[in-house]
Structure 1
Amino acid sequence: MRLALVAVGRLKRGPERDLADSYRARADALARGLGLSPVQVTEISESRARRAPDRCDEEGSLILGAVPPGSALVVMDEGGRPVTSTGFAEQIGAWRDGGRPGLAIVIGGADGLGAAVRQRADLVFAFGAATLPHGLVRILALEQVYRAMTILAGHPYHRGAP
């Protein structure tokens, strides 16, 4: 199953990018043995439209165009529902085992996500009700992908409750 992270905006050089790259590399090292691909990161340029709804729609079109066909779509959004790490791992395993060709995780722009992206989502995932910086959300998303892989592999990195 192909893995993709599609994010609006670029992560500049520095500690956030270093940490994101670290979790991505860890995930990539486990991926093949789990029937998954390395994580393909696609950065979408922020829209320059004047109105927020137009920016969301423009970014949404680019996001959906970057999602591999047939992929399960996980949208990171403060209005989503919290999911346990174990639950996330189980869902990824179910999509993989059910024959989904890919999984795309989406992080929207500063104005949020357009309705088309939210409607297409298989899961709207929240790290909580707080608004978080996009760089931090990217780090957390990649860490959760890595954690999900360790859970699927039976690796001791995840030591949560059984």
Structure 2
Amino acid sequence: MLLHILARGRIARSPEGELLDRYLKRVTWAVKHTELPDRGGNIPPLPAQARTVLLDERGKQFSSEEFAAMLGRWRDDGVREARFVIGAADGHGDVARGEADVLIAFGAMTWPHLMARAMLAEQLWRATAILSGHPYHRAG
């Protein structure tokens, strides 16, 4: 299953960009990172057998184990792509929220978009590590 991060704005050379690259390189599943302009720009068409996840302040807060279990179920059910969408400064509109399969929040606090991208990459690595039995994740 392809793990695809679509994010508005450019991360360029930054500490957050270095973290993003560091974690995405560790993910053993197919992974892709697509940057879109802050406004406009075409989101690539969603293939059949895909899921859309929006990072959104109104979303559900998952534990790392719950997040991994969701990805594992999707993989086992034949989902071809899990698309993780990070919006621009104003977030996502009601239409996008309504069309998404899942809304995820990284807590009640507001996070900078660049940091959210790096945090998502780390959680994707952690989830795939949990599913493969890798010792990186130490459950409490």
**TM bracket, shorter-chain basis:** over 0.9
Q: CA deviation at 1:67?
A: 3.8
Partner of 1:53: none
Kept after mapping to 1: 8 A contact 2:58/2:105: yes
Could you tell me how far apart the structure 2 residues matched to 1:67 and 1:11 are?
23
Higher relative contact order (CA 8 A, sep 6+): 2
Could you tell me how far apart the structure 2 residues matched to 1:43 and 1:69 are?
22
Q: CA deviation at 1:148?
A: 0.2
1:138 aligns with 2:117: yes
* Structure index of larger Rg: 1
Question: Which stretches of structure 1, 4 residues or more, deviate above 4 A after TM superposition?
Answer: none
1:84 aligns with 2:76: no
Partner of 1:113, secondary structure, is coil
TM-score (norm 1): 0.81
Q: CA deviation at 1:66?
A: 4.9
TM-score (norm 2): 0.93
Kept after mapping to 2: 8 A contact 1:68/1:104: no
1:70 aligns with 2:49: yes
1:46 aligns with 2:38: yes
Q: CA deviation at 1:78?
A: 1.1
Partner of 1:158, secondary structure, is coil
Could you tell me how far apart the structure 1 residues matched to 2:48 and 2:88 are?
22
Q: Which has the higher helix share?
A: 1
The one-letter code sitting in structure 2 at the alignment partner of 1:120 is E
Identity %: 42
CA offset digits 1:83-136 (Å, max 9, x no partner)? 000000000000010111110111000011122221121110001111110000
Kept after mapping to 2: 8 A contact 1:4/1:67: no
Kept after mapping to 2: 8 A contact 1:6/1:66: no
Could you tell me how far apart the structure 2 residues matched to 1:96 and 1:10 are?
29
Kept after mapping to 1: 8 A contact 2:51/2:81: yes
Structure 2, unaligned runs of 5 or more = none
CA offset digits 1:5-29 (Å, max 9, x no partner)? 00011102021111110000011xx
Kept after mapping to 1: 8 A contact 2:49/2:78: no
State the number of aligned residues: 140
Kept after mapping to 1: 8 A contact 2:2/2:82: yes
The one-letter code sitting in structure 2 at the alignment partner of 1:4 is H
Could you tell me how far apart the structure 2 residues matched to 1:142 and 1:96 are?
18
Could you tell me how far apart the structure 2 residues matched to 1:125 and 1:7 are?
14
The RMSD of aligned alpha carbons is: 1.4
Q: CA deviation at 1:151?
A: 0.1
Partner of 1:55: none
Kept after mapping to 2: 8 A contact 1:6/1:67: no
